[in-house]
Amino acid sequence: MGKKTKIGLAAAAVGAAAWAGSKALANPQFRPAKEVLNYERPIVLAHRGGAKLAPENTLAAFNRSADLGVHGFEIDIRMTKDEEILVFHDEYIDRTTDGAGRVADMSLDQLKAFDLGYHFIDLEGKHSYRGKNEQVVLLRELIEKFPQMYINIDIKDDPETYEGSLVPSKLWRLIDSLGVQDRVAVTSFYDEQIDRFNLYAQNRVAIGAGENEVRKAYASYNSQFGHLYHPRADVFQIPVKSSVFRLDSPRFIAFLENLNIPVHYWVIDEAEAMRTLIKAGAKGIITDRPDLAVALISEMEE
């Protein structure tokens, strides 16, 4: 046996011993159950209210999706100049309205002057909501108007900005004052915003996984040391692919499910893609086409 072979075998033996030792000592870190995530069948979350059926983040969209029978909404929030929490995705308001400017530089009254249906084109190619007085919506208004809905809240403001530094605490105070800890989940692409929010919430609200947490989970899943992964999120809301990595394999979904972490996928607008993900174990479909998703899940349950 050559020297290189002996060294290789020794390294393999050390690695196997390390894996066996860590496996023996590790205790699986299951996430505690959260009421909002207590569902047996897959759910449909209307992305920004159902952005292909009506102007995104408007009451027209939320009402239409509610009428279709969705289980909840997936929304983004930003803070206005007068520190109101707005249901809105973009940093600048001009993409979806007849106005222009940065959300954080405008008051709520200024923002309410814009027509959110101005640029919307429906599935038939018509501007069916222009001039229909579709205005921005406050998070408080949305929660109070739809008391039956699960609302997934994505913090969009950068933690390094003034508004981003305030929103975690203000969001917690709003959730607490409305008593909806068991109706919402809070997430962000910024892991720091999730951590800041949870400093106030103290695990009383379901939290999602930021980009770093998703990377950590996927790396653990792909290694021999997945049993050492200690999740910091109650739910994963992820795309089917990140860079060159596929995040939609049944084994990855099962890896998280075994830790009591359901997986929701965004933004899925094709019926066959929805069907494939549900069969793979996905517990939620986030979509701009809630009409397709609700019909598909009903069909699969028959």
Active site residues: 47, 89
From the CB of residue 196, how many other CB atoms can be counted at a distance below 10 Å? 21
| Per-residue CA distances from 220 to 9, 29, 210, 249 (Å) | 24, 13, 16, 15
Cα gap 234→75, rounded to integer Å: 17
Cα gap 156→279, rounded to integer Å: 31
Residues sharing a CB contact under 8 Å with residue 79, sequence separation 6 or more, in sequence order = 85, 86, 103, 104, 157, 163, 164, 166, 167, 170
CA geometry: angle 33, 210, 208, nearest 5 deg: 20
